[in-house]
Chains A and B, each alone.
Chain A
């Protein structure tokens, strides 16, 4: 007897280009709506970089109600909104009877640096006796997933995967393995990152961000010759992963199937992409193998490219190594051209987009693509969505620290 199949029966998304909700997200990525605009969460006067993918006019109270939000930080509210809408989409009511059979695993690496700084700021400026003890829980890395778990009475387990750029996809693989091993029937899996000045400063000073200089624009334009850095983003996406039999028994709507995933770590420096791309190629091959697919079986390649010179080149090399040259490449697209680089949330948002793409039978466009880079020869869908058969999507996430993860999400057939 093989392992149980893992299907996707719900989606919850909070995104810079569509706010809260799966339908709005699906429409926005199909239409190529950008969520990147002038930063509003803090004053950018001291910085040369001015744009980011913020979830604008985010109103968690409208989704979650008034109670219990007072001391939660932005990231926790983003995740809670994604969890609530995912549960609604999956038509799951968590009760005393089923709460122990449901778990949650989400990627988050930056935590809430803003919460830590705000907490310390009070201690330093007013004195340690005046820190608000209710804000202390926000300062730990597992706060967001734990708070969501408490709020929605998810008692099976709660896990924060905190390994950087690939954490959103790694959370999906972790959750899927739990289901395949028969330990849980339903797991909410995804990722979350909030945008704040503290993380912005870190990436800014590290020279990771795109800025208008040397005739090049401040722009998220993956694989484009003009690219000169990432534009930061934020958001949360939660997929309801469910054992197939459980989904069939409760009459759930099955949107897609998570067929396989692969990871490979090839880090040598925390701040430098490994140019060869062999780690990512290995992760892609492993996920194809787990999904029992050949490279030609992939219809849509959801790239992790974030408009950094080295990162995009790395992915293009890895794609070429796995798929061969141009005619054999699948249609590719970079969601980060619309949403920015949201770190541990990125893979989860790409996965949510993959489910929407399968549902609509489209490949979403990559925005801002104008000038071809010969080192980045991928079959990009640009300008507008490409209507085509989309049965299998390969999703990539990778970072300069050496984490590489790929996941295959496929159209569900019984």
Chain B
């Protein structure tokens, strides 16, 4: 699960043009890291692509920090694994 956090941090750092060290678990995307709506969508797509999952756009408003994003990614990864197992 640590790998997921690292992967997501790496994606966010790339989109926001920040060093990975600047992406703290609870840094707020908009207020602390200067994210805009287009970059938020880009992060959502990048996470979907990385983990081959589909995250509904309604979830976008929940992605406010690294922790939030990792949790959403885990939620949909778990759903995917469950579906594959079933």
Contacts and interface: CB of A to CB of B under 8 A. Distances in A.
Interface stretch (A123-131, A152-160, A299-307, A334-342): A123-131
B77 interface: no
B42 A129 contact: no
B54 interface: yes
Interface in A57-99: 66-68, 70
B45 A130 contact: yes
Interface of chain B, main secondary structure:
helix
B39 interface: yes
Contacts of B48: 129-130
B49 A68 contact: no
- Could you say which interface size class chain A belongs to? 10 to 19
Contact of B45 (A66, A67, A68, A133): A133
Given A129-B45, A129-B54, A134 B17 contact: no
A132 interface: yes
Contacts of A67: 17
Interface residues of B, number: 12
B16 to A, nearest CB: 10
Interface in B47-70: 48-49, 54
B41 interface: yes
Contacts of A68: 17
Nearest to A133: B41
Contacts of A131: 45
Contact of A66 (B17, B38, B39, B41): B17
A134 B39 contact: yes
Nearest to B54: A129
A126 B49 contact: yes
A278 B42 CA distance: 52
Interface of B: 14-15, 17, 38-39, 41-42, 45-46, 48-49, 54
